[in-house]
Amino acid sequence: MEPLLLEILKYYGLKEIFGSKHNPEIVKMFHDIGYNWINDDETAWCSAALNYFCHKLGYERSGKLDARSWLNMTIKVTKPEMGDIVILWRDNPNSWQGHVGLYISDDKDKIYILGGNQDNMISIRSYYKSRVLGYRKTELIDI
């Protein structure tokens, strides 16, 4: 199985802390990828989590906090495999907002994604396929 997928699964269930406290592991993700000024777990963190795990394992990454930044990855995929990156739109297909995670599987109408900030935690969640903007692969890079 894909090393990136396995690494994220180790953190399955990691979640935000409700209220004024913040999960230090989520805050660490922001800090470790260069966003030292983010000290909370309420800031949207799906892209931060994926960037963190890619950075940790030496994979190419978007380096940005917006989910749609992953559309700029060089390897486009038309038929996703388990562990490929899935980029979704949020609120409006033409807005800047989105969501990103790793492809697990799909059925007729839905796609199942492993990612951060899904119901405020790292989990596998379903989304309608109609929200998919694209699929990408990430490769190991020299670190």
Task: State which residues form the domain around 108.
Answer: 3-137
CATH classification at residue 83:
3.90.1720.10
* Structural domain includes residue 116: yes
* Structural domain includes residue 142: no
**pLDDT at residue 1 in the model:** 59
* Structural domain includes residue 143: no
**pLDDT at residue 142 in the model:** 63
Residue 84 tokens, joined: 């490929």
* Structural domain includes residue 113: yes
- Domains of the chain: total: 1
Distance, CA of 74 to CA of 24 (rounded, Å): 32
Residues of the chain with pLDDT under 50: none
* Structural domain includes residue 71: yes
Q: 72: buried, middle or exposed (CB in 10 Å: 19+, 13-18, 0-12)?
A: exposed
Helix axis angle for 46-57 and 24-32, nearest 10°, is: 60
**pLDDT at residue 74 in the model:** 86
**pLDDT at residue 75 in the model:** 94
Distance, CA of 50 to CA of 70 (rounded, Å): 10
* Structural domain includes residue 72: yes
pTM of the model as a whole: 0.96
